[in-house]
A and B are shown apart, each in its own frame.
Chain A
């Protein structure tokens, strides 16, 4: 059983002529938090979209749990059920909080009662107990981010990818989100998150991956 979740080799992503990501070699280890750091435009979000199997690299190899990814539609469908990505500006679907948080569970074939119970529990962990019937369109920014995180956590992913989860949220929401990330990491979920906060590694023991202009500078 391999301890490496992702192995990237010679991965390149281009947007037109611009080389947005150029990773020689990168390993993401199971159960350990990884923090992507770098200035805006350094390739953090692009790397997360590759890890979320949303963007196929233009060159190179990505292996997940020891198996090289072939990027076929069928394979991507099953791989995406192992990971969830929380976008920097997370989108909530129209409808209730219950419909949003239960979205991934419904796709995984969970029964109604199981979804209701799981949604209630997950909302309680993000400090939003009793929010099930609220309209997702009428939540504050911090509440919306927490609902999006609850939606990702409800799927019980093997890997949780977070794009700037602490940006543009109030202090209360930021504290809750950070506590949850720490708890998830303790429970064995592999976490890869991007952040501008240089102090995060002090609070969350993790491996820092620095990016600059799409590359990992040698230290």
Chain B
């Protein structure tokens, strides 16, 4: 018990002293997570809305595929992107492996099915009259879809927050594509895994506390959004 208490004390001190190693990992985590969620949102939100409103032959297949992609193990995704961006891969000449950019590609692909699926679900649960109402008031097809997105904005925010929660807490893709390079690609999760294995429990705990804080903030925002949507 004293080990936990002592480690906790050291962890709090590390946070309060502004340890460069701790805050470098926090900065890298936030940087790659924000970039990847922005990219995933730019692709996933329109994809989710279009999939929800369009009628096409393979729609059910696509929806099953999107659901399945949400459950893909992160190491498998990391492995596939590793094959793509490693020296022998199709994008090997771009030297993306073990860089934040490489991590962003992997994390974007990880968040994409989540953002797409949640956006799709938000639109499917929306009132069917939104698009026809907008159209009969003179909106173009694109303008009516924008109005639809506005009407389900809380559901779409929830999609983005859920995707962000996934990428900020992820370890497999970050480890495989980032390489856990100190001060460069070391994120909170990869640092926790490494430092704990080296016996630096307090350091891992310090990052764990910050990560828990981020997760708590994400869940609070999600809950508030859900309450707002229900009201």
What is the CB-to-nearest-CB distance from B137 to chain A, in angstroms, rounded to a whole number?
4
Chain A residues numbered 46-96 whose CB sits less than 8 Å from any CB in chain B: 49, 52, 54, 73, 77, 80-81, 83-85, 87, 89-91, 93-94
With contact pairs A77-B140, A81-B138, A107-B137 given, residues A54 and B132 touching in the complex (Cβ less than 8 Å): yes
Tell me if B138 and A93 are in contact (CB < 8 A): no
- Number of chain A residues whose Cβ lies closer than 8 Å to a Cβ of chain B: 24
A-B contact pairs, 27 of them (CB 8 A): A54-B132, A77-B141, A80-B138, A80-B139, A81-B138, A83-B136, A84-B136, A84-B137, A85-B136, A87-B129, A87-B132, A91-B129, A91-B130, A91-B133, A93-B130, A93-B133, A93-B147, A104-B138, A107-B137, A107-B138, A107-B139, A107-B143, A108-B138, A151-B137, A152-B136, A152-B137, A155-B137
What is the CB-to-nearest-CB distance from A164 to chain B, in angstroms, rounded to a whole number?
14
What is the CB-to-nearest-CB distance from A110 to chain B, in angstroms, rounded to a whole number?
11
Secondary structure call for the B interface:
helix
- Interface of B with A (CB < 8 Å)? 127, 129-130, 132-141, 143, 147, 150-151
A131 at the interface (CB under 8 A from B): no
Tell me if B140 and A54 are in contact (CB < 8 A): no
Q: CA–CA, A103 to B127, complex, Å?
A: 18
Of all A-B residue pairs in the complex, the 10 with the closest CB atoms, nearest first, are: A91-B129, A104-B137, A85-B136, A81-B138, A107-B138, A91-B133, A77-B140, A104-B138, A52-B136, A84-B136
Q: CA–CA, A81 to B134, complex, Å?
A: 11
Q: CA–CA, A158 to B174, complex, Å?
A: 60
Contacts of B137 in A (CB 8 A): 84, 103-104, 107, 151-152, 155
Contacts of B143 in A (CB 8 A): 107
Q: CA–CA, A84 to B138, complex, Å?
A: 8
Q: CA–CA, A83 to B132, complex, Å?
A: 13
Q: CA–CA, A80 to B143, complex, Å?
A: 13
With contact pairs A93-B151, A94-B151 given, residues A54 and B136 touching in the complex (Cβ less than 8 Å): yes
Q: A77-B141, A80-B139, A85-B132 are in contact. List 4 more A-B contacts (CB 8 A).
A: A52-B136, A85-B136, A91-B127, A93-B130
What is the CB-to-nearest-CB distance from A183 to chain B, in angstroms, rounded to a whole number?
21
What is the CB-to-nearest-CB distance from A205 to chain B, in angstroms, rounded to a whole number?
26
Q: CA–CA, A103 to B146, complex, Å?
A: 13
The residue that A73 contacts in the complex, of B133, B141, B150, with Cβ under 8 A, is B141
Contacts of B127 in A (CB 8 A): 91
Q: CA–CA, A80 to B135, complex, Å?
A: 7
Q: CA–CA, A151 to B130, complex, Å?
A: 14
Contacts of A73 in B (CB 8 A): 140-141
Q: CA–CA, A73 to B127, complex, Å?
A: 23
What is the CB-to-nearest-CB distance from B61 to chain A, in angstroms, rounded to a whole number?
22
What is the CB-to-nearest-CB distance from A17 to chain B, in angstroms, rounded to a whole number?
18
Q: CA–CA, A68 to B55, complex, Å?
A: 27
Contacts of B140 in A (CB 8 A): 73, 77
